[in-house]
Amino acid sequence: MIPVTDHDLAARPAIAPGVSRAPTHTPQTDERLAARAAEGDRHAFGELVDRYQDRIYRFALVRLRCAPDAADVTQETMCRAWRSIRRFDTTRCFATWVLTIARREVIEVVRRRRRAERDAGRERERLNAGDPPGQEAVALGEMWAIARRVLDDETFELIWLCYVEDRTPAQIARVVGASGVAVRVRLHRARKRIAEACAGARTAPTEGGSAYGAA
């Protein structure tokens, strides 16, 4: 077996978000590719990177609202996944596993931001002012814009995982470290709050669903 290092992973040609390699083989399941990667198959892991880098990037971007930070989270997530791939249980869902890693990276970025803000004495002003999203924020459809406005970050994250990443409540619970019952209750309340906000604003859903399109 040829040993694989983080340097080998970093040396792979960079692929911009939104660009994937053309498939050259019959598609294999994520879990099968992960099993091959655990045995040192760099090409198998490269295919997982192709499949998930865009999804992780979008997931990070809606929470962090900053393209460079989202790109950093994507890179670090895939590096951590590579370093931990031998511990991945192939009887579980790879998507849930890698999204859990991504969420931890997002949380770490948020924590670093908060520490910097406290050190600079700016956190109180930011919270009181309610800074609007930056220029890098994703252009949300009207329904998603309402959800972003009326939900806190953690609840919006649940909605994103449910409808964009197509995760079940049980899978979401593993990603966020909560019980399945708690996730279902929060999703129900979030849907109700969005519906009430839409009714109050006399807003209809954007034609064609989410502005993000399919994951």
Per residue in 130-146, pLDDT (tens digit) is: 444 443 333 346 778 88
Give the fold, CATH level 3, of 140-215: Arc Repressor Mutant, subunit A (1.10.10)
Per residue in 10-61, pLDDT (tens digit) is: 555 445 555 555 555 568 999 999 999 999 999 999 999 999 999 999 999 9
Per residue in 186-203, pLDDT (tens digit) is: 998 988 888 888 777 654
Residue 63 · residue 157 · CB < 8 Å? yes
For residue 153, which of 77, 71, 61, 215 has the smallest C-alpha distance? 61
**Range list for CATH 1.10.1740.10 in the chain:** 29-138
Per residue in 84-96, pLDDT (tens digit) is: 999 999 999 999 9
Q: How far apart are CA 117 and CA 125, in angstroms?
A: 10
**Range list for CATH 1.10.10.10 in the chain:** 140-215
29-138: CATH architecture: Orthogonal Bundle (1.10)
- Tell me the C-alpha to C-alpha distance, in Å, between residue 109 and each of 68, 151, 167: 11, 20, 23
What percent of the chain is predicted at pLDDT more than 90?
36
